[in-house]
Structure 1
Amino acid sequence: MTHDNTTSPTSRLPTYFISHGGGPWPWMKKEMGATYDQLAASLADMPRQIGRTPKAILMVSAHWEAPAFTVQGNAKPPMIYDYGGFPPHTYEVRYDAPGSPELAQRVQSLIAAAGLPVQIDPERGYDHGMFSPMAAIYPKADVPVVQLSLRRGLDPAEHLALGRALAPLRDEDVLIVGSGLSYHNLRNFGPQAHGVSKAFDDWLDAAVVKGAPAERAAHLQNWEAAPAARMAHPREEHLIPLMVAVGAAEGDAGERVYHEDAFMGGLVVSSYRFGAV
């Protein structure tokens, strides 16, 4: 069902964990060819899945860590070109979505009420974990976006708890998106990584889709015991946003909404949605 934005939403929004790709890929079609076509199509399909334009998006990006959970309070966030070695034009790209200090305050209050450490950063800009996928999801940059940091230490249980604290936003027309990568080992890319990425991806799908929703948190807290876990994530900052998406949709069914078995020449990668649409 499609809803007019002037009316109150009639259903709870799902949450997402998306694989956001590498660097400023939406602005590198000439250089990358068809490499990102499947990922781009899956991201572009999210508005159709949701069935309406949300009031705002809260995005937890793998590319921001802070001592306390930190909310972006900037009304007009600048660009943060947090990548290296890309063509000169990619350091001039723009994704000028508005921020939302009002949502930032709401997020801060929810996190504080859960007893978790939180602060607002009034200056923080948008990093590529936000603007690269958002260029595919909402290319007009007309939906307000607020970023939320990970907390240093990357404790899975703490980020699941963060998701639980944020769950009320789903009834307030705010879309919660965890932006990372289901496989992130930059030293082991390409065909030689197919086996380890598949082993971890198979476990991930079983843990968050095929298993009982009530058991997901326990599986994810023990993710390091998964097959090829540390080969897939030598450092887990690109996996931890999944914990937030899962925590905010505890008890809801999961569905794999993007999957490739030969990404970048051989990687097995996936994205997930939690909750009905």
Structure 2
Amino acid sequence: MTLPTYFLSHGGGPWPFMMDQVGHLYARLDASLRDLPRQIGITPKALLVITAHWEGRDFMLSSSPKPPMIYDYGGFPPHTYTVQYPAPGAPALAAQVQHMLEAGGHRALLDDQRGFDHGTFSALYPVYPNADVPIVQLSLKSGLDPREHLEAGRLLAPLRDQGVLIIGSGLSYHNLRAFNAAGAAASHAFDAWLRATMTLPPEQRTARLMQWEQAPAARMAHPREEHLLPLMVALGAAEQDAATVPYHEDAFMGALAVSSFRLG
């Protein structure tokens, strides 16, 4: 079975652990993530998560068998700095991914100290609440070149036939200085372009995404593109497959348009 790939808009901070306070804001995202196991149909052997919250000079891979937690957010309730998502790591998969990337000309390094950041544990807690699927995190590469990340995804495509679910975890709109009504127009313009682009035939879709900065409101939606780049890896790993939209919201945080994508 060839698994799909996903780009997930992962929401803000530790939201799944604050549903009694923010559930009204995250109900649709939460429901979409909880539906992923049904969509996939099987439990993956492992997850490879390209996280927007980790960058290295080269591609980096988490290789600890028991990754710790990284609370990479501020201003949240005290209990959110003690939450645990005790999914196991997968050192053998990390080494395999390293080999696949290096065989394709991309230097990749293992990091046996790296823990799960909220781009991983917040996105995956609703999907696999028992934390029983092994996870390897893949960093972005500094420079944030979309083509390098697309090429990395192409090299990793064979994992889809080996029971590994490839997930790009980011956010389709990420301008924290306008994460409210001030960003509404930009988020809607960019999201409409992105959803239309994802429906195009593969060659046209890839070409447009490689030139994403030319999209309407592109730099307003992504002043810095780290939350968009995980999409390029997910795309590269399923470049010939059709895309669907498992999650879309027109009034995220009251005003913003955000989306997630499935390929395959």
TM-score by length of 2: 0.99
- Is 1:22 aligned to residue 8 of structure 2? no
Deviations 1:117-138 (A, max 9, x none): 1111111111000000111110
Paired letter, 2:84: R
Distance 1:133 1:157 in 2: 25
Q: 1:8-157 counterparts in 2 under 5 A? A: 11-157=1-147
Percent identity of equivalent pairs: 62
Q: 1:248 aligns with which of 237, 257, 260?
A: 237
Contact 1:12–1:171 (Cα < 8 Å) also in 2: yes
Q: Return the letter of the residue paired with 1:60.
A: I
Aligned match of 1:235 in 210, 224, 227?
Answer: 224
**One-letter identity of the residue aligned with 1:150:** L
Q: What amino acid is the match of 1:50? A: I
* Contact persistence 1:74–1:123 (CA under 8 A): yes
The residue type paired with residue 112 of structure 1 is E
Contact persistence 1:213–1:254 (CA under 8 A): no
Structure 2 unaligned runs (5+)?
A: none
* 2:168 corresponds to 1:213: no
**2:178 is equivalent to residue 164 of structure 1:** no
C-alpha deviations, 1:253-277, integer Å up to 9, x for none?
01111000000010000000001xx
Distance 1:249 1:214 in 2: 12
1:176 corresponds to which letter in structure 2? I
Partner of 1:179: 169
Aligned residues: 264
Give the SS at the match of 1:33.
Answer: helix
For residue 87 of structure 2, give the secondary structure of its aligned residue in structure 1. Answer: coil
Deviation at 1:113, TM superposition (A): 0.8
Runs of 4+ in structure 1 deviating by more than 2 angstroms, as ranges, are none
Q: Could you tell me which runs of 5 or more consecutive residues in structure 1 were left unpaired when the two chains were aligned.
A: 1-10
Per-residue deviation at 1:229? 0.1
1:217: how far off? 1.6
The aligned counterpart of 2:249 is: 260
Q: Does the residue aligned with 1:259 lie in a helix, a strand or coil?
A: strand
1:218: how far off?
Answer: 1.0
Task: For residue 177 of structure 2, give the secondary structure of its aligned residue in structure 1.
Answer: coil
Answer with 220-229 or 192-201: which moved more.
192-201
TM-score when scaled to structure 1?
Answer: 0.94
> For 1:57, what is the secondary structure of its paired residue?
strand
